[in-house]
């Protein structure tokens, strides 16, 4: 910097404070980016700040005025030579008036500990960086689809249908749950739940607007306590009329590429942090995946690979066999050892997939497409939908699904039915993948998981 130094005011929270003879250095952060701004106080020039500085601790909020000057210190271009300091909100480092001391002192905290204080953990470098990436990606999701002529559709949160047929739903009721429940007397006059997916409703609007996408919360009462499952998560579900499975796979691949490129371009500083502190090699991996085509493979071929690996060294906990659902160890093996990159698996056995997927000519497999990525496993699940009324009815009968409940859905096959396809991307899994964070609970502001309402 040269010429006049600008006088400015900054506001934020104290990260650290260091004293050196007559000088005090305060690192300030307002959460807008990872880097702090260093504010230097010369106590001989600003003696009235000394009293505030003497008790100022990490976490306090302050307003500082001063001049922005080139910094002599390494690692920062500029700093602020402070002329005044106002304490906005104290954050005592010791117990005060019965309140515990501010818990986020200088030392590094475990992510487990931070989960217990979701109201404060956003102030840490890690969670702050995660939430900035999350925000940038949420905006990118809309840009991607809007630029391609997709309409943003709001699907209901409260629903009567189990879109995935997996039965893992949270019940919504206003009945007194103490006795036997008569749902005809319930709020909607019938059973209702929190949605597991907006897909079925999106299909209806794809048959009206051609291209739609949803981006909203989904709820699953799965009792799986894994680092990649939440009870409440956000899902992006595009649904496209006249799309076959190949088109759907191309869209999913373009979409993931776009998300990775956006993160690399717009969140460079935060990604460098994750690369340094969370997942070494992260940026290189994201760059190479953003630039390469995803490998495509059938479930049957993938199972062949897994069975051969089992025969060679039997190193899985679950023995793979045709017809079984892939365990995360299998997904890991395929993406990290066999393909060494993302893979789109197609042609799953119909028994392990939802009722709405289009049956292949073999009568055994469906036009499903799951995108699996290294480190994480499944990031996207999707399919071409069964658009034929008879075939869909038959499948629903086989599964014992109450067709009365889905009569509205069957209408889409009765009137102007078209081939159509879609997929769902778990937004938190995307953020996990991009940041390298190991646990999905650390990429959403307030995680909800089995047994834990943080
Ligand atoms: O594979 P799923 O269950 O597919 C559907 O819900 C379809 N209706 C999507 C569609 O075709 N429109 O879920 C889609 C994705 C998964 O691949 C995963 O990324 C994420 O949603 N997901 C979860 N994320 C966090 N916690 C959970 N419990 C999740 N369950 C699924
Ligand atoms: Mg799935």
Task: Pick the residue whose CA is nearest to atom 23 on ligand 1.
Answer: 426
Q: How many CA atoms lie within 13 A of 149 on its CB side?
A: 7
| CATH class of the domain whose range is 119-294+342-442 | alpha beta
Q: What distances in angstroms separate CA 121 from CA 108, 128, 351, 390, one per listed residue?
A: 12, 8, 42, 53
List C-alpha distances in Å: 200 to 162, 355, 380: 9, 11, 17
Alpha carbon of 380 to ligand 2 centroid (Å):
7
Strand partners, 183: none
The number of the ligand nearest the C-alpha atom of 428 reads 1
Give the residue, by CA position, lying nearest to ligand 1 atom 30: 229
Give the number of the ligand closest to the Cα of residue 166. 1
Closest CA to 262 of 140, 129, 138, 435: 140
pLDDT in tens, the chain (454 residues): 444 556 899 999 999 999 998 999 999 999 999 999 999 999 998 888 999 999 999 999 999 999 999 999 888 999 999 999 999 999 998 888 888 999 998 778 999 999 999 999 999 999 999 999 999 999 999 999 999 999 999 999 999 888 887 779 999 999 988 888 899 999 999 999 999 999 999 999 999 999 999 999 999 998 888 999 999 999 999 999 999 999 999 999 999 999 999 999 999 999 999 999 999 999 999 999 999 999 999 999 999 999 999 999 888 999 999 999 999 999 999 999 999 999 999 999 999 999 999 999 999 999 999 999 999 999 999 999 999 999 999 999 999 999 999 999 999 999 999 999 999 999 999 999 999 999 999 999 999 998 888 7
Is the distance from the beta carbon of residue 424 to the nearest atom of ligand 1 less than 6 Å? yes
Task: Pick from 168, 381, 385 the residue to mutate for probing ligand 1's pocket: most ligand atoms within 8 Å of its CB.
Answer: 381
Range 40-44 contact pairs with CB under 8 angstroms and sequence separation of 24 or more: 40/79, 40/80, 40/81, 40/82, 41/82, 41/85, 42/81
Separation CA 227–CA 149 (nearest Å): 35
Task: Return the CA Rg of the chain.
Answer: 27
Angle among Cα 214, 217, 221 to the nearest 5 degrees reads 130
Q: Do the Cβ atoms of 265 and 315 come closer than 8 Å?
A: no
CA distance 318 to 359: 27
- Architecture of domain 6-106 in this structure: Beta Barrel (2.40)
Q: Which residue of 194, 201, 220, 235 sits with most ligand 1 atoms within 8 Å of its CB, as the best mutation to test the pocket?
A: 235
Residue 9 Cα to ligand 1 midpoint, Å, equals: 46
Ligand closest in space to the Cα of 352: 2
Ligand at minimal distance from the CA of 422 is 1
For ligand 1, atom 7, the nearest C-alpha belongs to: 424
State whether the beta carbon of 203 lies less than 6 angstroms from ligand 1. no
Surrounding residues of ion ligand 2, Cβ less than 5 A: 381
**Domain coordinates of the chain in residue numbers?**
6-106, 119-294+342-442
Helix axes 199-209, 407-414, angle to 10 degrees: 30
Report yes or no: 243 and 420 within 8 Å, Cβ to Cβ.
yes
Q: Which residues contact 221 (CB under 8 A, 6 or more apart)?
A: 168, 169, 170, 231
Whether ligand 1 lies within 6 angstroms of the CB of 422 is answered as: yes
Q: Indicate which residue's Cα is closest to atom 24 of ligand 1.
A: 426
pLDDT at 199: 98
Binding site membership of 222 for ligand 1 (Cβ less than 6 Å): yes
**One fold for both 6-106 and 119-294+342-442?**
no
175 neighbors 192 (Cβ within 8 angstroms): no
The confidence score (pLDDT) of residue 5 equals: 55
| Length of the chain as a residue count | 454
Distance, CA of 352 to CA of 366 (rounded, Å): 10
pLDDT at 2: 41
pLDDT for the residue numbered 105:
85
């Amino acid at each position: 910097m040269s010429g006049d130094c600008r006088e400015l005011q900054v506001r934020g929270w104290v990260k650290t404070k260091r004293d050196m003879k007559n000088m005090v250095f305060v690192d300030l952060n307002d959460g807008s980016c990872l880097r702090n701004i260093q504010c230097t106080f010369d106590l001989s020039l600003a003696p009235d700040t000394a009293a505030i500085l003497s008790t100022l601790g990490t976490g306090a909020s302050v307003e500082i005025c001063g001049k922005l000057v080139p910094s002599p210190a390494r690692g920062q271009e500029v700093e602020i030579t402070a002329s005044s300091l106002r304490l906005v909100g104290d954050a005592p480092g010791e117990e005060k008036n019965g309140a515990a001391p501010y818990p986020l002192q200088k030392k590094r905290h475990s992510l487990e500990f931070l989960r217990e204080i979701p109201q404060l953990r956003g102030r840490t470098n890690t969670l702050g960086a995660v939430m900035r990436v999350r925000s940038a990606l949420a905006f990118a999701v809309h840009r991607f689809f809007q630029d391609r002529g997709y309409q943003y559709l709001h699907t209901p949160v409260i629903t009567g249908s189990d879109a995935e047929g997996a039965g893992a739903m949270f019940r919504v009721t206003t009945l007194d749950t103490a006795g036997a429940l008569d749902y005809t007397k319930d709020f909607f006059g019938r059973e209702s739940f929190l949605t597991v997916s907006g897909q079925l409703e999106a299909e209806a609007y794809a048959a009206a607007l051609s291209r739609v996408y949803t981006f909203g919360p989904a709820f699953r009462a799965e009792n799986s306590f894994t680092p990649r499952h939440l009870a409440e998560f956000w899902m992006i579900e595009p649904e496209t009329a006249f799309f076959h499975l190949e088109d759907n796979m191309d869209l999913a691949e373009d979409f993931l590429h776009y998300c990775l490129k956006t993160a690399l371009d717009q969140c460079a500083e935060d990604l460098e942090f994750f690369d340094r502190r969370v997942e070494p090699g992260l940026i290189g991996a994201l760059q190479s995946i953003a630039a390469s085509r995803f490998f495509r493979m059938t479930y049957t071929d993938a199972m062949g690979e897994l069975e051969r690996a089992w025969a060679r060294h039997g190193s899985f906990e679950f023995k793979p066999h045709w017809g079984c659902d892939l365990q995360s160890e299998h997904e890991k093996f395929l993406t990290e050892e066999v393909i060494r990159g993302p893979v789109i698996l197609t042609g799953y056995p119909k028994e392990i997939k939802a009722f709405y997927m289009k049956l292949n000519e073999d009568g055994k497999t469906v036009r499903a497409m799951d995108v699996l990525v290294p480190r994480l496993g499944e990031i996207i699940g999707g399919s071409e939908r069964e658009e034929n009324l008879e075939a869909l009815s038959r499948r629903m009968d086989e599964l014992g699904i109450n067709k009365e409940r889905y009569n509205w859905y069957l209408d889409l096959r009765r009137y102007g039915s078209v081939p159509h396809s879609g997929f769902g991307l778990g937004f938190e899994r995307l953020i996990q993948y991009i940041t390298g964070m190991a646990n999905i609970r650390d990429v959403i502001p307030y995680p909800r998981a089995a047994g834990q309402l943080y």
